[in-house]
Structure 1
Amino acid sequence: MNFKSLKTLAVNGKQVIVRVDFNVPIKDGRVIDPSRIQAALPTINFLCEQKCRIILLTHLGKPKATHDPACSLQPVFEYLAAILPGVKFAPIVPGTAEAITRSQEVRPGDILLFDNLRFHTGESENDLDFAKNLAALGEIYINEAFSVCHRKAASVSTLPTLLPSAAGFQLQKEVEFLQKIMEKPQRPFIGIIGGAKISTKLPVIRALLEKVDYLLLGGALANTILKAQGIAVGKSLIEESMVSEVKDLNLVTNKLRVPIDVVMAPSVEPDALSQTVAVANVPDEQRILDIGPETLELYKMILQTAKTVVWNGPMGYFELPQFEQGTKQLAEIIAGLNAETVAGGGETLEAINQLKLNDKFTFLSTGGGAMLAFLEGKPLPGLEPLTIE
């Protein structure tokens, strides 16, 4: 897969729209994990060096209205203002006449961040007229948002067809690295998939089983597989509609591994009393909320043989301390391997960031759903307009 590269475009002095993904966690009005912002900086700084006028477009969260204060980009702007001279914030919905007028006032050296793309329904609906209004904001389009490339959104899949377009540095790096991993992995190649919903991850589980030497599962998605195999899971989160869909997954061979012991509790509460039991011994009133120490030991033994590791999704409900050990200890195990290690997904990166292990991984993908779609082998709508035939 070859991309139109940013460095092949004549961008000097031009007005450039950069679709970034600054959908970052915010607490008390402050950005608490700026990883996605930092990943876009090389592209933004390059455009600054080229004396471009830069328009930044992004979404944040899932707004409940056309202007949801909880999804305002003001905290993102405040973070940017501390690290990027010349950045300005226009609390205007992009794709409107007001936004087009404001974009015409941008001067060389300016970086203008508009407010949340999702404040306009045209973004999620992939509306052509909305995309045309976005195109009126600049002369060139750069996609620096791999994490949304699996979505058919106006600013992701339609806008790049309306302007000269190219991939940003981080996007190109992500795709090239994931492509190399999937096409020519060093072996043993081990995949790790966690998280809540088996319905969203079953296709990638099936795809990875065709490529990896081992696939290790955790999180609530493993509960559905356990139930399909006739193992009692108590009140654990499962997807009933998927039980019949996963019955064919073969747990007899060594390739696919599920937890052999679990941490359980009667509820997902901060004061819930947790216990560790063998996976077959979960009572009716208990919930599986993390993998147990024996599972971690088994996974560690397998991972120590690895030359390539791809990880997406937490092992348990790691938002509470009593259920975080599976995810955090797994992160530490992977960080200590002599292997190519790739991790992606918001919660996975959050755990790695909390442990300050970022530089211990070979590559951290900004994408969650996009990474899964890529690993599955699905076409990504945001990449197709950037691809050289």
Structure 2
Amino acid sequence: MAWKSLDDMDLAGKVVLTRVDINVPMEDGRVTDMTRIERIAPTVADILKAGGKPVLMAHFDRPKGKVVPSMSLEPLVPALSGTFGVPVRFAADCIGAEAKKAVAALPEGEVLLLENTRFHPGEEKNDPEFAASLAALGEIFCNDAFSAAHRAHGSTEGIARLLPACAGRLMAAELSALEAALGAPKRPVVAVVGGAKVSTKLDLLGNLVRKVDHLVIGGGMANTFLAAKGIGVGKSLCEHDMTGTAKEILAKAGEASCEIVLPEDIVVAREFRAGAENETLAADACPEDAMILDAGPETVKRIAAVFEGAKTLIWNGPLGAFEISPFDAATNAAAAKAAELTRNGALISVAGGGDTVSALNRADAAKDFTYVSSAGGAFLEWMEGKTLPGVAALEQ
């Protein structure tokens, strides 16, 4: 991939406009999950070390082009300063006189945070004038927000055309991990795709059957595929109107010599709650009054065998109702197997998407994966084979 990193840029004495994703959960004015802030710290540290002045641009929530005080980035300043270990200043706007004054006053060794870029309608419209107003504040553009790279916005795509541009440490790590997993992977490649609906992951499945050797389908999506094969799924979550599409994907997989792995056995219950009475049955034996809530132990053994024969794993989505016990068993067991193989150097494992990260954390497996992406939509669109505007702009 032809993008520059921080190491390719002369940062000394330069204002480095750095796009970050700090759209973090907040409660009573405090950050409740520091992951995204911690992940941008290496980029900020390296800019400072090279003598650059980091000026952070970010969005928060969806103010839709209007100033919404409750969506200001100012309450994040203490969390940023504590993580970076240096003073963080705040500018009450991201463009114009207020921003210019704050940039001019920024001393070496400190960081400036600009106000929410989405307070301006030009951000999401990728308005050239807005992008030019941002670019006027600095000399180098560093994009460290892979999770916002699927949006062609002023602070992700527009500005990259106006200044010398590079990828930050987090962006570079994401791109390198994804290239290793799907761009030029070590084979065999297995993908795990779970979640509720086939309809939301059609492009993803269509792309993967041409790229991977094994495709494990779990969660509610698996029920739709079982139904497509004429198997009764009782009262399970199932998109019966998508069975024709599921058949097409099965046919495409056959043509591409991609093995689709569906549940061989299932865990069913009559109610969706933690600790509900349940039983394990063959995949084709779901009672009419029951719901499939997890894959069974034989399916887990099959998935483990596929993992053992693979060199690369891409994971998006859980295998069952992982939020409640005991229907988290298949996801936990498969995640533990992937973690073990990765620890032993036998597997390159890359995972991403909100539910996926949550499931892998619950299984205590995320720390052993080769790479866990903090991105949701961008990770999915990359898996779908789509061009990400924020990445494409860096490559030009």
**TM-score band, normalised by shorter chain:** 0.7 to 0.9
SS in 2 for 1:196: coil
State how far apart, in whole Å, the 2-side matches of 1:73 and 1:107 are: 21
How many angstroms does 1:134 deviate by? 2.5
- Report if the CA contact (8 A) 2:91-2:112 is conserved: no
User: Residues 91 and 348 of structure 1: is their aligned pair in 2 closer, same or farther, counting only changes over 3 Å?
Assistant: farther
State how far apart, in whole Å, the 1-side matches of 2:374 and 2:108 are: 29
**TM score, norm. by length of structure 2:** 0.85
State how far apart, in whole Å, the 2-side matches of 1:87 and 1:53 are: 12
Report the AA paired with residue 309 of structure 1: L
After superposition, the C-alpha distances for 1:150-194 in whole angstroms (9 at most, x for unaligned) are 222222121211222111122223223322332443232211112
Of stretches 289-298 and 48-57 in structure 1, the one that deviates more from structure 2 is 289-298
SS in 2 for 1:192: strand
State how far apart, in whole Å, the 1-side matches of 2:276 and 2:118 are: 37
- Report if the CA contact (8 A) 1:5-1:166 is conserved: yes
User: Residues 257 and 356 of structure 1: is their aligned pair in 2 closer, same or farther, counting only changes over 3 Å?
Assistant: closer
User: Which of 256, 263, 267 is matched with 1:259 structurally?
Assistant: 263
- Report if the CA contact (8 A) 2:295-2:330 is conserved: yes
SS in 1 for 2:390: coil
User: Residues 64 and 377 of structure 1: is their aligned pair in 2 closer, same or farther, counting only changes over 3 Å?
Assistant: closer
- Alpha-carbon RMSD: 3.1
Report the AA paired with residue 380 of structure 1: L
How many angstroms does 1:273 deviate by? 5.0
After superposition, the C-alpha distances for 1:286-333 in whole angstroms (9 at most, x for unaligned) are 443333333222211221222221112222332333432332222111
Residue in 2 that maps onto 1:350: 358
User: Residues 237 and 158 of structure 1: is their aligned pair in 2 closer, same or farther, counting only changes over 3 Å?
Assistant: farther
SS in 2 for 1:373: helix
Report the AA paired with residue 323 of structure 1: F
User: Residues 221 and 7 of structure 1: is their aligned pair in 2 closer, same or farther, counting only changes over 3 Å?
Assistant: same
- Report if the CA contact (8 A) 2:38-2:83 is conserved: no
User: Residues 301 and 319 of structure 1: is their aligned pair in 2 closer, same or farther, counting only changes over 3 Å?
Assistant: same
Report the AA paired with residue 262 of structure 1: I
State how far apart, in whole Å, the 2-side matches of 1:276 and 1:69 are: 52
Residue 331 of structure 1 pairs with residue 335 of structure 2? yes
Residue in 1 that maps onto 2:166: 166
Q: How many percent identity over aligned positions? A: 39
Counterparts of 1:59-74 in structure 2, within 5 Å, are: 59-62=59-62, 66=66, 71-73=71-73
After superposition, the C-alpha distances for 1:216-270 in whole angstroms (9 at most, x for unaligned) are 1112222333333333334443446544322212289670012233334455555
How many angstroms does 1:215 deviate by? 0.9
**Equivalent pairs, count:** 388
How many angstroms does 1:46 deviate by? 0.8
How many angstroms does 1:111 deviate by? 1.1
- Report if the CA contact (8 A) 1:186-1:308 is conserved: yes
Residue in 1 that maps onto 2:230: 230
How many angstroms does 1:58 deviate by? 2.3
Unaligned runs of 5+ in 2: none
Residue in 2 that maps onto 1:315: 319
Counterparts of 1:1-389 in structure 2, within 5 Å, are: 1-26=1-26, 30-62=30-62, 66=66, 71-73=71-73, 76-88=76-88, 90=90, 92=92, 94-95=94-95, 98-239=98-239, 242-250=242-250, 255-266=259-270, 268-269=272-273, 274-337=278-341, 338-388=346-396
State how far apart, in whole Å, the 1-side matches of 2:363 and 2:54 are: 34
After superposition, the C-alpha distances for 1:322-378 in whole angstroms (9 at most, x for unaligned) are 432332222111001121222222222233334443442222223333233333332
How many angstroms does 1:383 deviate by? 1.0
Report the AA paired with residue 316 of structure 2: N
Of stretches 154-163 and 75-84 in structure 1, the one that deviates more from structure 2 is 75-84
Report the AA paired with residue 315 of structure 1: L
Unaligned runs of 5+ in 1: none
- Report if the CA contact (8 A) 1:263-1:274 is conserved: yes
User: Residues 355 and 269 of structure 1: is their aligned pair in 2 closer, same or farther, counting only changes over 3 Å?
Assistant: closer
State how far apart, in whole Å, the 2-side matches of 1:271 and 1:65 are: 46
**TM score, norm. by length of structure 1:** 0.86
User: Residues 65 and 161 of structure 1: is their aligned pair in 2 closer, same or farther, counting only changes over 3 Å?
Assistant: closer
- Report if the CA contact (8 A) 2:65-2:121 is conserved: no
How many angstroms does 1:387 deviate by? 0.7
State how far apart, in whole Å, the 1-side matches of 2:142 and 2:161 are: 11
- Report if the CA contact (8 A) 1:26-1:75 is conserved: no
User: Residues 209 and 162 of structure 1: is their aligned pair in 2 closer, same or farther, counting only changes over 3 Å?
Assistant: same
User: Residues 158 and 224 of structure 1: is their aligned pair in 2 closer, same or farther, counting only changes over 3 Å?
Assistant: farther
- Report if the CA contact (8 A) 2:274-2:324 is conserved: yes
State how far apart, in whole Å, the 2-side matches of 1:30 and 1:262 are: 42
